[in-house]
A and B are shown apart, each in its own frame.
Chain A
């Protein structure tokens, strides 16, 4: 393998790593505050892509505006899912909300099949994204410039929110202890809504970048990215934002590098992701950055 091909793959892996990180954060944040795996997260991701699609086709809005609208709609969707499917079960046994999460996942997927149709639709993205640039012999797709840049912007915003604002402080407090957080005057419901909105917003950003990279959208497009991002969150240590980022990168690298270096094993990509998961859990059951 020549050096330029290696760099090409490296850039690809970084790009995909950022995408998984963006999605994985949604899993990890919700788990952090509610101890719940939001199985609907991958489908919220899917809905975001359709929000862009329909905002553009129905309202004929330009792409950039459609993306903003879709991000806002996805945040509202995440907020509503929590209101309707999780909040009423907050004091019920954990298995109930888990079932509810799986139910929401099926509901969104089937809703999409019925309303949007099962046939893949092509996703518009700016020309720049699909253009190939040649830099010192390395071929780079436009989207591979855009993804890391956009991701860095949103991940920095997230860090600022979580570590520098009152809402972020409230989030970190309720992740430890609801009652004591209440004694500080924190509104638990509002903080949980906030968490779902942020996680869903990042999933929407991920979905737009994902659909620009693989420009076909369909009702089950969230399933595999969702599972891989979920695995990434576990590898990194579920509940830890830093862990979700690192886990996302690891999964991104395995996905790309395996295909590049051992093409005959490409079909076993997911198997390798899970082997990584098992190895991490064997030596560090709480994940790379998780707390015991």
Chain B
């Protein structure tokens, strides 16, 4: 579904991504793990064109999207839930969701989807008219996910959705990701919480200072000694 080929990204003089290639198969949960500063967020941002690649190709649903604008990419069904939630604090929960549906015109379906995310996140439903900035960290993350779903993604990319959440909420977020996946949405999950991500994922890639150093089935990587040492703190 998504194919990234020899991606090279620079920030001024910093070579942040040094020729990475990977694939996300339709219907799967794929995870990209790695330490802080490895280039995970850069990878996702480059895929949706917030950061421009110097070299490389990105193909989504058999079409090259490397030089498209973010707007066009989102319209094709490739949606990113950015790191740090980035909900709009000055807007209400309802308005944040409306922004998720910004690219859509099908009013009735949008209303149905609002009901759907309301069921998925009952805590948001109680806070429909509250400003995003007044929500707790966990609720903001729920809102960020709900907002992403309102775009009706075919491939949903999540950048560290568990960051800074209490353990109970982390569990809840991972359960929701699985639930979204069961609805038929392909997932590309970036995590520092390697254990949880590997347990969930069909396939995984390990990123280290701008290079992919390992890949394999989630379960397999969980068994590998180098992964256990570097990312699971054993």
Contacts and interface: CB of A to CB of B under 8 A. Distances in A.
Q: Say whether A and B bind each other.
A: yes
Interface of A: 166, 169-170, 172-173, 175-177, 179-187, 291
A182 B86 contact: no
A187 B99 CA distance: 12
B88 A187 contact: no
30 contacts: A166-B102, A169-B95, A169-B98, A170-B99, A170-B102, A172-B90, A172-B95, A173-B91, A173-B99, A176-B89, A176-B90, A181-B99, A182-B50, A182-B69, A182-B70, A183-B70, A183-B74, A183-B79, A183-B86, A184-B74, A184-B100, A185-B70, A185-B71, A185-B74, A185-B102, A185-B103, A185-B151, A186-B99, A187-B69, A291-B90
Which of A166, A177, A180, A186 has its CB near the most chain B CB atoms (within 10 A)?
A: A180
A186 B71 contact: yes
Contacts of A173: 88, 91, 99
B3 interface: no
Contact of A187 (B48, B50, B71): B71
B80 interface: yes
Interface string B73-89: 01100011010001011
B71 A182 contact: yes
Instruction: Determine which residue in A173, A180, A185 has the highest number of CB atoms from chain B within 10 A of its CB, and name it.
Output: A185
A176 B75 CA distance: 22
Given A172-B88, A172-B91, 14 more contacts: A169-B95, A170-B99, A172-B95, A173-B88, A177-B88, A179-B50, A180-B86, A180-B88, A184-B74, A184-B102, A185-B151, A186-B71, A186-B99, A291-B90
A177 B75 CA distance: 19
Contacts of B147: 184
A176 B100 CA distance: 15
Contacts of A181: 99
Nearest to A176: B88
Interface in B126-144: none
Contact of A184 (B50, B69, B99): B99
Interface string B26-51: 00000000000000000000001010
Contacts of A166: 102
Contacts of A182: 50, 69-71
A164 to B, nearest CB: 11
**Quick one: which of B70, B75, B79, B100 has the most chain A CB within 10 A?**
B70
Contacts, number: 60
Given A172-B91, A179-B50, A180-B88, A186 B102 contact: yes
A20 to B, nearest CB: 25
Contact of A183 (B48, B89, B90, B91): B48
Contacts of B91: 169, 172-173
B151 to A, nearest CB: 7
B95 A183 contact: no
Nearest to B51: A179
Interface in B82-117: 82, 86, 88-91, 95, 98-100, 102-103
A137 B98 CA distance: 53
Given A169-B98, A185-B151, A187-B71, A179 B82 contact: yes
A239 to B, nearest CB: 10
B143 to A, nearest CB: 12
Most buried by B among A179, A184, A186: A184
A36 to B, nearest CB: 19
Contacts of A169: 91, 95, 98-99, 102
B74 A177 contact: no
A172 B94 CA distance: 14
Nearest to B150: A184
Nearest to B90: A176
A180 B82 contact: yes
B86 to A, nearest CB: 4
A250 B88 CA distance: 31
A176 B132 CA distance: 12
A187 B68 CA distance: 13
B161 to A, nearest CB: 15
Contacts of B79: 183
Contacts of A176: 88-90
Nearest to A182: B70
B35 to A, nearest CB: 23
